Amino acid sequence: MNTLRDIGEDALIERLIDLVPRDSSAAAGPGDDCAVIDLGPHSPTLQLLKTDALVANVHYLPDSPPRAVGWKSVARVISDFSAMGGLPERFLITLALPSDTPVAWVEDLYRGIGDCLEKFGGVLAGGETSSVPLGSSAVISVAATGSVHREHLVLRSTAKLGNVLLVTGTLGGSIHRKHLNFTPRIVEAAWLVSHFKPTAMMDLSDGLAKDLPRMAAASGCGFTINHTALPITQGCTAAEAIGDGEDFELLFAIEPERVAELFASWPFPDLPLTLIGAITAPEQGQFLAGGWEHFT
């Protein structure tokens, strides 16, 4: 009998979405950073839906500062909105916690949630609390709505042959608590879709080695990367830049003839922008090993 360890996260998702009814009118369904709902031809915006979860001992350690854990729980969702070119709106927070969790820990968790919402937009609309058996891991689940102007929507499945690949920021080092204090690239993404709309875009949550192949496969393409060009976080190796995960930087594809103007216009001097590769035909693509894999 196959187990989740045997098939992995991506194969599991493919199996599950075939077992339930799906929204045939959705502009983008399971498989992208957010679900995209068309509210009708007279609406200038599309609705974005996203859910995400943090699990103790998977996404954070029990001794992690709770305020930082709260920040991360919301920032992960905001990062997914940015990957679609959108903005966050309303959030629902579900907490499933052991009954011996200190009240002060939960209050600091919510302070971190509030810090992130105040900085990047969005409001708390509701939620739920539940207990888990003693000894079980805490779970923080975040569901949210967002919106994106129709002309600004970017999917991960629309990269084109000959596009070049760029990333923001530096890669690698999430294990050194970078994963608790990252900045979702919501401002940079909003500028990109308004001035140099990418052909395709996603955020790097599971590592370049996992996420770039997902973009290429969703677009029916392959990819190549220049390993010597990777923007590596100080103190990290190229292997860590490729495989650590939880960078939450933007990975996007764009036409090569627009790159020089993009670099000349980039208005964020403190955030590097790096050309790392290209989109190819499937048979000409490279293979990357590594990245975060649930269940293994």
Query: Is pLDDT at 65 greater than 80 in this prediction?
Result: yes
Write down which residue in 104, 128, 152 finishes a domain.
Answer: 152
Task: Verify that 234 and 134 share a domain, yes or no.
Answer: no
Mean pLDDT computed over 237-250: 95
Query: Is pLDDT at 27 greater than 80 in this prediction?
Result: no
How many domains does the chain divide into?
2
Mean pLDDT computed over 67-91: 98
> What are 96-111's pLDDT values in tens digits?
999 999 999 999 999 9
Query: Is pLDDT at 140 greater than 90 in this prediction?
Result: yes
Q: How many CB atoms lie within 10 A of CB 110?
A: 15
The predicted pLDDT at position 176 comes to 81
Mean pLDDT computed over 111-139: 96
Query: Is pLDDT at 164 greater than 70 in this prediction?
Result: yes
* Within a domain: 158: no
Query: Is pLDDT at 68 greater than 70 in this prediction?
Result: yes
Average pLDDT of the chain is 93
Cβ–Cβ under 8 Å, residues 254 and 166:
yes
Least confident range of 21-30, 80-89, 176-185: 21-30
Write down which residue in 123, 152, 181 finishes a domain.
Answer: 152
Residues 41-76: b if buried by 16+ CB within 10 A, e if exposed: eeeebbbbebebebebeebbeeebbbbbbbbbbbbb
The predicted pLDDT at position 19 comes to 83
Mean pLDDT computed over 47-76: 96
> Between 26 and 19, whose confidence is greater?
19
Alpha-carbon distance of 89 to 80, in angstroms, equals: 13
Residue linked to tokens 């992995």: 8
State how far Cα 71 lies from the chain centre: 15
Largest CA distance in the chain: 58
* Within a domain: 64: yes
Q: What is the CATH number of the domain that holds 30?
A: 3.30.1330.10
The predicted pLDDT at position 106 comes to 98
Query: Is pLDDT at 26 greater than 70 in this prediction?
Result: no
Mean pLDDT computed over 132-136: 92
Confidence of residue 23 (pLDDT cuts 50, 70, 90): confident
Task: Verify that 41 and 117 share a domain, yes or no.
Answer: yes
Write down which residue in 115, 131, 152 finishes a domain.
Answer: 152
- Radius of gyration (Cα) for the chain, nearest Å? 19
- Burial environment of residue 270 by CB neighbours within 10 A (0 to 12, 13 to 18, 19 or more): exposed
Closest CA to 288 of 230, 236, 246: 230
Q: How many CB atoms lie within 10 A of CB 198?
A: 26
| Domain carrying residue 274 | 164-284
Least confident range of 23-32, 46-55, 214-223, 264-273: 23-32
Output the six-digit token pair for 84: 């679609």
The predicted pLDDT at position 24 comes to 67
DSSP bridge pairs for 203? 250
∠179-61-126 over CA atoms, to 5°?
Answer: 75
Task: Verify that 10 and 140 share a domain, yes or no.
Answer: yes
* Within a domain: 294: no
